[in-house]
Amino acid sequence: MILKFVTLGLMAAFYISYFSKMISQKKQGIRTDQLGKGKEGFLKCIEVTLKITTYLLPILQIISILFYSEGTHWLLQIMGVVIESFGVIIFVISVTEMKDNWRAGVQREDKTNLVTSGIYSISRNPAFLGFDLMYIGILLAFFNWFLCFATVFAVCLFHLQIVKVEEDFLLETFGQEYLEYKRKVCRYLGNKFWIQ
């Protein structure tokens, strides 16, 4: 029962952070939600599907948590909550350090800066990593096959968003600066110069 409350509390912290950032930017005249806007074809399909999935998956997660019937080993549940915690922390840090450059989706006309410091020096996509870790943590803690399918689907959509939309946009917008950043920092986690 305690793990249910902790998990729901972490989800609340995550989504309060997400929507607070959007509201704060909206007050400054910044449209944060760019998913599906100004896109066509496959790119629009990726972004619209991603948007729908990120709104529906939390409902399935909450149902899975509330109606969970003690099937997962307690150690796996604790590990899931720890992973979810890391996801929430990483996400909050990433949107904080991105400042007013953070967007959900990309818009070619929207002028932003390439952020490469702080958490962005060890992950090119920490907000996506935060989402993924939160989703995977909840899945491990409150496993069921419907939630498993939905989680894998969402994680794959986030990856498609990165490789088919975000990276192309960043390369087109920031050119050599982005290529140099990409050469140094891994897509999800790690600085390539740690290895040398």
Tens of each residue's pLDDT in the chain, 196 residues: 789 999 999 999 999 998 888 888 788 787 777 776 777 888 889 888 998 999 999 999 999 999 987 777 889 999 999 999 999 999 999 999 988 777 776 666 667 788 889 999 999 999 999 999 999 999 999 999 999 999 999 999 999 999 988 898 889 889 999 999 999 999 998 876 654 4
> Is 194 within a domain?
no
Residue 144 belongs to domain with CATH number: 1.20.120.1630
**pLDDT for the residue numbered 4:** 93
Tokens of 178: 């982005």
> Is 189 within a domain?
no
Find the distance separating the first CA and the last CA of the chain, reported in whole Å. Answer: 46
Residue 9: give the domain boundaries.
Answer: 2-102+110-184
> Is 196 within a domain?
no
| Number of compact structural domains in the chain | 1
> Is 191 within a domain?
no
**pLDDT for the residue numbered 196:** 41
> Is 190 within a domain?
no
Q: How many CA atoms lie within 13 A of 77 on its CB side?
A: 17
Q: 26 by DSSP, 3-state: which?
A: helix
Burial of 129: CB neighbours in 10 Å, binned 0-12, 13-18, 19+: buried
Smallest CA-to-CA distance from 64 within 134, 2, 9, 145 is with 145
Q: What's the CA dihedral at 148, 153, 159, 160 to 10 degrees?
A: 170
> Is 7 within a domain?
yes
> Is 193 within a domain?
no
**pLDDT for the residue numbered 20:** 87
d(CA 190, CA 193): 9
